[in-house]
Amino acid sequence: MAATCETCGNHYDKAFTVTWADGRTATFDSVECAAMQLAPECAHCGCRILGHGVETEDAIFCCAHCARKDSNADVNDRFPVPAGG
């Protein structure tokens, strides 16, 4: 049975529904459309965070670079940090 995506409005026979623990639901035609509504945005660059991200007390970021640019967080994406990075 076809359903309408809540992000793009496409009426699609392979749409899927996401249900939250509190009972809310949303229907999407692709993971991309779901991510546009469900994934948090990086507090620095605004991209959607599809992985773990980097969290500080005040925000979530897509990477350590953005966390350092937007806060005083002492974080790295990997260890050791390459020279100049």
Same domain, 34 and 46: no
Domain count, the chain: 2
| CA 41 – CA 53 distance, rounded (Å) | 10
The two three-digit tokens of residue 12, written as one number? 């699609």
Same domain, 12 and 51: no
| Sequential pLDDT tens for the chain (85 residues) | 799 999 999 999 999 999 999 999 999 999 999 999 999 999 999 999 999 899 988 999 999 999 999 888 888 777 765 666 5
pTM greater than the 0.75 cutoff: no
Q: In which domain, by residue range, is 6 found? A: 1-38
Same domain, 84 and 62: yes
Same domain, 56 and 74: yes
